[in-house]
Amino acid sequence: MQKRTLLKGAVAALALAASPAFAESHGGEKTKVGFVYVGPITDGGWTQGHHHSATEMLKELGEDNVEMVYQENVAEGPDSERVMTQMALDGADIIFTTSFGFMDPTINVAAKFPDVKFEHATGYKTAPNVSVYSARFYEGRAIQGTIAGQMTKSNVVGYIGSVPIPEVIRGINSAYIHAKKVNPDVQFKIVWIYDWLDPAKEADAAKVLIEQGADVILQHTDSTAPLAIAKEAGNVIGFGQASDMYEYAPSPRVSSIIDNWAPYYTARVKAVMDGTWETTNTWDGIGPGMVGIGEITDAVPADVKAQAEEMKAAIAAGTYHPFTGPLKKQDGSDWLAEGEVADDGTLAGMNFYVEGIEGDIPQ
C-alpha cells in the first residue's frame, strides 16, 4: 500500500516536472510545415485542392502552433529537389510533396534530412521519414459512371486522361464498369493529353470528344477548361475534378469528385507535434472523407440522383466495392469471379482496361 502511494507520488512528480518542459519545447517554436505544389494554387483543381486543405489544416491547428510555407509551380525533376532542400534548410519539420513526379526527389532529399518528415502524394516509395498518401478516387468514379451512363443520349462518354498511370486507369475502369451497368450501349472515347494541367490541351481534348459525339465529358485533368468547352457546346455535361468547380453548376457541372486532404494533413502535422509520426501508407476513400462527392445538381433526374447517393452510402459504409466480380479484362480473360473483390495490390498497379473499353493504354 505504502509502496503504491510512493510510486503514485513519484509518477505525479515526474509528470509535473515533465509537463512544463513539454509545454516549453512546443510553446517556444512553431511546427513548420512545407507544401510543394506542381501547379499554381489557383488552378481550380488539384493544386487548389491541396492548398485549400493546407489552409484548413492551419486553421484547425492554429497559426500560433503551425507555420506554413509553400511554393507553387514547381517543375518535377531537379527544381523540385532544390525546393524541398530549401524548405528543409529553412527549418521545415514536415514537407508535403503533392505530385507523382516528386517521388524520386522526395526520396533523395529525405535521405539527406533524416530529422525532417516527408509526405509524398500518389507515389509508392517510402522510407523511415517518408510516408505516402493517396485517395481512392475510383470510388468517386463509380458514382460518376452511374450518372454518366444514364445522362448520355448519344451513348458516347468522353474521357480526358492525363498520364497513363494506374490511378488514372483505375478511374477509367471504374467509371466504365458503372456506366455500362446502367446503360449497356454506352461507349467510352478516351483522349490522353500526357499532362495533369494544361488548359489549352484539355480544351482541345474536350472539343475533339464532343465532335466525336460525346455528350458527357469526364476528366482526370486539373483545370476547368473542359467544363468551359462543355458549357459553350450546350447539351454537354461534365464533372468537377479535384476541386468542386461549382462555378459551372448546375450545368454543365452536375457533380464532382472533391479531394479533401484536410483531415489527413491535420492528423499528420499533429503527429509531428506530438512526436508520434510514423511512416505510413494511406489510401483512403469516401468513408474516411478523403474523397468527397460534390452536390449532385438538379440537372440530374431525381431517380438517377437517388441511385448515385445510394451507391455513395454503400461505398462509404464498406458494403459495396466498385471492383466487384464478375469482371473480365479487355482481352477477355477472367479477372474477378462472381462476388470477388479486387485486392489493393492489383488496384495499385492496375495496367489493364476492363472488358468493353476500346483502344489501348498508351505505352
Partner 1 sequence: MIRLEKRAQPSKVWTYATPLLAVVLTMLAGGLLFAALGKDPVLAIRTIFYEPLFGQHASFYLPQLLVKAAPLVLIAIGLSLGFRAGIWNIGAEGQYIIGALCGAGVGLAFYPTESVLIFPLMVIAGGLGGWAWAMIPAILKTRFGTNEILVSLMLVYVAEKLLIGMSLGLMKNPEGFGFPGSRNLAHYPSATSWIDQSLGLHWGVAAALIAVIAAYILLTRHMLGFNIRLAGQAPRAARFSGVNPNRLVVFCLGTSGALAGLAGLFEVAGPTGSVTDSFNVGYGFTAIIVAFLGRLHPVGILLAALLMSLTYIGGGIAQSQSELQLPAAAIQLFQGMLLFFLLATDLLTNYRLRLTRGATA
Which residues form the interface with partner 1 (CB under 8 A)?
34, 40, 67-73, 75-79, 81-83, 85-87, 89-90, 100-101, 104, 124, 163-166, 194, 348-351, 362-363
- Nearest distance in Å: CB 212, partner 1: 21
What are the residues facing 187 on neighbouring strands? 156
Residue number with CB closer to partner 1 (310 or 360): 360
Residue number with CB closer to partner 1 (71 or 282): 71
Category of 334 on φ-ψ map: left (φ > 0), alpha (ψ -120 to 50) or beta: beta
- Nearest distance in Å: CB 55, partner 1: 12
- Nearest distance in Å: CB 283, partner 1: 14
C-alpha 264: how far from its chain's center?
11
- Nearest distance in Å: CB 357, partner 1: 17
The span from the CA of 33 to the CA of 26, in Å, is 14
Q: Hunting for cell 472523407 — which residue is that?
A: 289
- Nearest distance in Å: CB 45, partner 1: 16
Note whether 104 and 132 are within 8 A (CB). no
Cell of 60: 484547425
C-alpha 219: how far from its chain's center?
14
The span from the CA of 328 to the CA of 336, in Å, is 7
Residue number with CB closer to partner 1 (32 or 141): 32
Cell of 356: 468493353
In one letter, which amino acid is 41? I
In one letter, which amino acid is 278? E
- Nearest distance in Å: CB 238, partner 1: 25
Residue number with CB closer to partner 1 (30 or 136): 30
Residues 6+ apart with CB under 8 A from 19: none
